[in-house]
A and B are shown apart, each in its own frame.
Chain A
């Protein structure tokens, strides 16, 4: 087995801090659709270090969803090796992968994917339930996670009583409750308006900077990718560009330039009143 550094065809990443949390070695993923075989990934190798904020980009069909599923241990590579937190997870059984997802990974989805008719607190508790953490400790940790995303006072609300942005914050809290090695976000702002999107990026940036949480975001929006520290561009199942973000956006600063919800509403009302005239 060759050294990972020798396999990597990409330049060394100066932004990388600490030991790699994720190390992919020549990952292939082939989908067998009967008559045709689709090669979704063709030899991807990369490392992501602790405390990095990585945006995975690429057009549809580029393999970015596939890489997300493999990073998230929802799928296994056809070939190659995947080390998560130093452990080779590429040949684990489904049950072992479920345990890894539970303890090492936090998920944030485009659709939020909260359980309806279940309080925010219980939604956040869910991964802790599967980790077998006792009820009291679970509730304490869930409350702590909700506090981190600024939703402590909404703990008893059901998803239907929360705005999209708030729901996504609950989802982030759920992703954090088992103190995972990385937080994986798949188009986390895809269903949100621009101001709320920036608010979500603010939370992710804060978690990344202040608590050194490793974050991987999949997005097709270049704007959103600008909030990360490093961008990975995929095309045709290959990693084609690995770059450090120049002129990184700082969500807190961007928010100051955006109109608040109230201002936006007032502006919209003004626009509407002008139109019939």
Chain B
């Protein structure tokens, strides 16, 4: 019997018990629908995270001061005093992959304006830091390189600090107190929102690094260098030369640990993507348990169907159906059932993810891979769980099958 005949036969057999077929398909529909929806939402989340990471500057390379060991006690990142502006200049000079670099060091200080006060992080840097971080100034302007050279008392506010200190006032040109020193507010940065770990990036004040080094922290070294490479690939490629340059400059012997840490934006993006993908796989895995249950449902119904139609099988065998003919008939029926469920599930999954992105204004990305996987998976479920009942049907003895009441 050719395939089209078998397929038509399967459709007819399924149409004969519409309610039963629909209920049997439900397991697959829910399973596939859930997988499609979960993967779409997960990919949407992944897209959001990627956007967030890109907002931080895709070519960025961060070099943080590492820990050193003082008599076996490790001090944690930022603890060493070896990372300096000279290191930064050496990197800019000797490693052409690096386009720009900005020094940075932070200190937590109490800030006061009028009767408002706040405790926040003062980061000392140079104006090109805002370019490297792709973080434009929304009002006023950033401080200038000249102001950095003379260690002027000027600053740029993050939006969180601005909102707390200046309730209804325009902050530009006003003087705030940081620690014990007065600072003129030159500008306000655009809001960057939370970073990928949920930290408020706008709760910050930027000032010239020279001012922070000399007047606030009283140190001569840096906590980190924010650099940007010529491209995303270059940011990864620059890690090795920066490492050897800094090791050489810091006179670190072979075999000893680095006293600095280099992170590229690409690393962070990879990590985030991995976390997101793990979540998506996990949820998808849970959803596919439903597919498994659906498959068992199909097997159950197919076994019932084989028993119910024992006599029909006997008649078919008597008039010349081979074991293969009978096996194919029931297998095609099971696969038709599961694949129809799969297709309906895809439609439901797409509708579900569209609804979610509508109501939660959360982007969902329809994954072609997930759809193809759902189709293949539901066919596989049909074959796997349909094989045993089909085989049982094929193994029937025609004499006994014909006698079956």
Contacts and interface: CB of A to CB of B under 8 A. Distances in A.
Interface of A: 69, 72, 74-75, 94-95, 98-99, 101-103, 107, 109, 113-115, 117, 126-127, 129-132, 174, 178
B5 A129 contact: yes
19 contacts: A74-B398, A74-B399, A75-B399, A94-B322, A95-B322, A98-B317, A101-B317, A101-B319, A113-B315, A115-B312, A115-B315, A117-B16, A126-B315, A126-B316, A127-B319, A129-B1, A130-B322, A132-B1, A178-B320
A178 B319 CA distance: 10
Nearest to A104: B320
Contacts of A107: 318-319
A101 B320 contact: yes
Nearest to B319: A127
A132 B316 CA distance: 14
A94 B314 CA distance: 14
B320 A102 contact: yes
B321 A69 contact: no
B2 A132 contact: yes
A42 to B, nearest CB: 20
B402 interface: yes
Contacts of B1: 129-130, 132
A109 B401 CA distance: 13
B170 to A, nearest CB: 83
A69 B318 CA distance: 10
A74 B312 contact: no
A95 B395 CA distance: 12
A103 to B, nearest CB: 7
B314, B320, B325, most chain A CB atoms within 10 A? B320
B324 A95 contact: yes
A174 B319 contact: yes
B311 interface: yes
B323 interface: yes
Contacts of B311: 113
Nearest to A112: B315
- Across the A-B interface, the 5 shortest Cβ-Cβ residue pairs: A102-B320, A130-B320, A127-B319, A98-B322, A113-B315
A89 to B, nearest CB: 14
Contact of B402 (A113, A117, A130): A113
Contacts of B314: 113
Interface in B264-319: 311-312, 314-319
A40 to B, nearest CB: 12
Nearest to B2: A132
Nearest to A117: B16
B318 A74 contact: yes
Contacts of A132: 1-2
B315 A94 contact: no
Nearest to B405: A111
Contacts of B318: 72, 74, 101, 107, 113
Given A114-B315, A117-B16, 13 more contacts: A98-B322, A98-B325, A99-B320, A101-B317, A101-B318, A101-B319, A109-B402, A113-B314, A115-B315, A127-B320, A130-B316, A130-B325, A132-B2
Contact of A95 (B16, B315, B316, B323): B323
Contacts of B316: 126, 130
A98 B394 CA distance: 12
A28 B324 CA distance: 29
Contacts of A72: 318
A127 B314 CA distance: 13
B313 to A, nearest CB: 11
Contacts of B321: 98, 102, 130
Contacts of A130: 1, 316, 319-322, 325
Contact of B319 (A69, A94, A117, A126): A126
B398 to A, nearest CB: 5
A18 B272 CA distance: 87
Interface string B380-405: 00000000000000000011001000
A99 B322 contact: yes
Interface string B328-370: 0000000000000000000000000000000000000000000
A132 B321 CA distance: 11
B201 to A, nearest CB: 69
Nearest to A131: B320
A112 to B, nearest CB: 10
Given A113-B311, A115-B312, A132-B2, A102 B319 contact: yes
A95 B5 CA distance: 20
A107 B398 CA distance: 12
A145 to B, nearest CB: 13
Contacts of B319: 101-102, 107, 126-127, 130, 174
Nearest to A126: B319
